[in-house]
Chain A
Amino acid sequence: MEHKDLNLLNEALGHHNNLYGRFLLLEDSVDTSAAFVLHQILKRSFSSHPSSAVIFLALSNPFSHYDRILRKIGCNLAAQRDNNRFFFIDMLMLQCPDEGKPNHDRFAAVFEKIVRVINTLPQDNKKFVTVMIDDISFLEVAANGSLNDVLDFLHYCYTLTSEYGCAFVALDHKDIYLNEEKPAIILEMEHLADILVKAEPLATGLAKDVHGQLMVLHKQTQHQHGISPVKIHNFHFKIKENSIDCFYPGTKI
């Protein structure tokens, strides 16, 4: 089991329990989707600890989509949901109306739901909770472009990493913000993130054998043993139905 999971991506993300108490930001573009990293982390967090739990805020795809994908990777989401280890919060149709209830009430309700879920977990499970958002850009659309509400919500989610020691994983599309003067959301998220994962297409275009490249960046962190330096991992990947192949550029057999 251990050997099978050992690929460059898992190595780059660090040890199994490494993500707890941290914020991982995923960035991708139209050409190269990074959703597969979410699937990998999802599987990883279930196998990391027997009592770990995942709270998944789905904005771009329904449960059936993730269920099918994860089943092929070797993780049964429906069973995990029945075991109260996987909490799927369907936000596909979440829409904040213009009038009436203000945006922040909607988001506050979602956040309260997350906290409630964490609080219902048994004591020793609380330490191993992962909160995932599958698309931040859809949050902005759901809020009708009200950036402050989205930022507030994301900051609240971020506080979970220190308050409960949760892992917080979020995906956003970098190319949306390229032409904006002050892309507050992506800048602030990049600032907060402990680990940054960027998926990019190859400079030479898409190929059958190489689907893109990943950059995993661990920011400088301070802990009891001193300061760990900035670590950068670069590698290429190929996505398969049941796994992903990661390899250093030019080492693909």
Chain B
Amino acid sequence: MAATRTRVSSFSRNVSTVTSQNSGLKHGPNGTIFLSSGIPDLDKILGGGFSLGSLVMIMEDAEAPHHMLLLRNFMSQGLVHKQPLLYASASSRDPKGFLGTLPAPASSKEEKTRDHTHEKDLRIAWQYKKYFGDPQLNISSNNGAQQDYCNDFDLRKPLDRHYFSGMNVDCLSIQDSSNLSSLQDRCSEFLSQFSSRNEGNISSAGRVAIQSFCSPQCKYADMEWHMLSFIRSLKGMARSSNAVVVVTFPPSLLSPSCSKRFQHMADTLLSVRAIPDEDKEMAKLLTGYQDMVGLLNIHKVARLNTQVPVILEATTFSIKLQKRRYLVLECLNQAPVDGSTGSSYNTSSGCSGSTKAGTLDF
């Protein structure tokens, strides 16, 4: 860790000055500004967080509510930073009540213990660190600023009431509305607060969270073109504002072409998947299978103002709960299979032997 910190260049120093002005925002490359997703690991993977003006879409798993984990942390992080929030839910009639289930940021003491255990875990692998020249580490390593930018959330502790009793939280249920016009009006009204885009001087950023868009409880669920044009206009509005819009949707309920259209519209596209509880095959293949809650797939990372695609080292991550409290994402690690290494050596030697024989024949 220390080695990477010394390597940090002027870039990250710049970052820390910005975050001190406005915690919760961070400058990224190409004139983009990041805000945190509420999950430190996800921020690292995405290269800093969600960029302002982007549309993030999360594809739900029909069998598990893992998208709610991401959405809760995203909303909590915004509330902790006092960023205005618009929350629209299609699955509950009482969206205000949902705010009571948001996780609270972990206290610094607990966080320390967490860091400690984290380092213990890494002890075996720390030597390899220098071989990964990944830039993502740089972002994580400016510790002082990072704690402000992104918190660890304790999923067992509800968020303090004072965070969301203020005026900057707007909730609505879209279950009973027969069309999307009311939601569209609310979104455009909300996003227009952040529409002034004067470079470098941003007072605050907004977050919009729409849960289970196009779930069958909604009366508009059979009007695919309406939903598409809503998301398109939402994307257009978000692009010209200092806000991040996160929409979760169940792709299995849509026609394949409609789901593909959604995926094309998304700037950042994630999907979550549950893992079966006792899949012995999988348990043999992957280490730490017991602790996994689900899998997160990253299909697309926003590329605003650039044409270069973001190619990640891995696109599938396991969602784990550390101490049953903190959400962490980890790369999948293949478990060593008994005796397999030996046999692979055998085959390779056999292979070289055969080639030798071939040259002799020649």
Interface residues of A (CB under 8 A from B): 30-33, 35-36, 39, 61-62, 64-65, 68-69, 72, 92-93, 95, 137-138, 141-142, 144-145, 173, 175-180, 206-208, 211, 239-241
Nearest residue (CB) in B for A73 is: B307
The reply to whether B307 and A141 form a contact with Cβ atoms under 8 Å apart is no
Could you tell me the distance between the alpha carbons of A33 and B263 in the complex, rounded to whole angstroms?
A: 12
The reply to whether B31 and A206 form a contact with Cβ atoms under 8 Å apart is no
The reply to whether B228 and A141 form a contact with Cβ atoms under 8 Å apart is yes
Interface residues of B (CB under 8 A from A): 30-31, 224-226, 228-229, 232-233, 236-237, 239-240, 255-257, 260-261, 263-264, 269, 299-300, 304-309, 311, 315
The reply to whether A30 and B236 form a contact with Cβ atoms under 8 Å apart is no
The smallest C-beta distance from A2 to any residue of chain B, in angstroms, reads 23
Given contacts A92-B236, A144-B226, A144-B229, contact A35 B307 (CB under 8 A): yes
The smallest C-beta distance from A33 to any residue of chain B, in angstroms, reads 7
A239 CB contacts on chain B under 8 angstroms: 307-309
The smallest C-beta distance from B110 to any residue of chain A, in angstroms, reads 37
The reply to whether B232 and A138 form a contact with Cβ atoms under 8 Å apart is yes
Contact of A93 among B233, B255, B257, B261 (CB under 8 A): B233
A144 CB contacts on chain B under 8 angstroms: 225-226, 229
Given contacts A61-B239, A68-B30, A179-B256, contact A137 B309 (CB under 8 A): no
A145 CB contacts on chain B under 8 angstroms: 224-225, 228
Given contacts A61-B239, A173-B264, A177-B257, contact A142 B232 (CB under 8 A): yes
The smallest C-beta distance from B234 to any residue of chain A, in angstroms, reads 11
The reply to whether B257 and A206 form a contact with Cβ atoms under 8 Å apart is no
13 A-B pairs besides A92-B236, A178-B260, A239-B307 with CB distance below 8 A are: A30-B299, A39-B307, A61-B239, A62-B239, A68-B306, A69-B307, A93-B233, A137-B264, A145-B224, A173-B261, A180-B257, A206-B309, A241-B307
The reply to whether B264 and A62 form a contact with Cβ atoms under 8 Å apart is no
The smallest C-beta distance from B340 to any residue of chain A, in angstroms, reads 23
The smallest C-beta distance from A4 to any residue of chain B, in angstroms, reads 18
The smallest C-beta distance from A198 to any residue of chain B, in angstroms, reads 16
The reply to whether B269 and A30 form a contact with Cβ atoms under 8 Å apart is yes
The smallest C-beta distance from B260 to any residue of chain A, in angstroms, reads 5
The smallest C-beta distance from A207 to any residue of chain B, in angstroms, reads 7
A179 CB contacts on chain B under 8 angstroms: 255-257
Could you say which of A61, A141, A180, A208 has the most chain B C-beta atoms within 10 Å of its C-beta? A141
The reply to whether A176 and B308 form a contact with Cβ atoms under 8 Å apart is no
Contact of B263 among A30, A61, A64 (CB under 8 A): A30
Could you tell me the distance between the alpha carbons of A30 and B309 in the complex, rounded to whole angstroms?
A: 12
Could you say which of B30, B261, B308 has the most chain A C-beta atoms within 10 Å of its C-beta? B308
The smallest C-beta distance from A173 to any residue of chain B, in angstroms, reads 5
The smallest C-beta distance from A169 to any residue of chain B, in angstroms, reads 16
Nearest residue (CB) in A for B227 is: A141
The smallest C-beta distance from B352 to any residue of chain A, in angstroms, reads 23
B299 CB contacts on chain A under 8 angstroms: 30-31
The smallest C-beta distance from A61 to any residue of chain B, in angstroms, reads 7
Could you tell me the distance between the alpha carbons of A178 and B30 in the complex, rounded to whole angstroms?
A: 34
The smallest C-beta distance from B315 to any residue of chain A, in angstroms, reads 8
Contact of A69 among B225, B306, B309 (CB under 8 A): B306
B31 CB contacts on chain A under 8 angstroms: 68
Could you tell me the distance between the alpha carbons of A231 and B224 in the complex, rounded to whole angstroms?
A: 39
Could you tell me the distance between the alpha carbons of A241 and B236 in the complex, rounded to whole angstroms?
A: 24
A36 CB contacts on chain B under 8 angstroms: 307
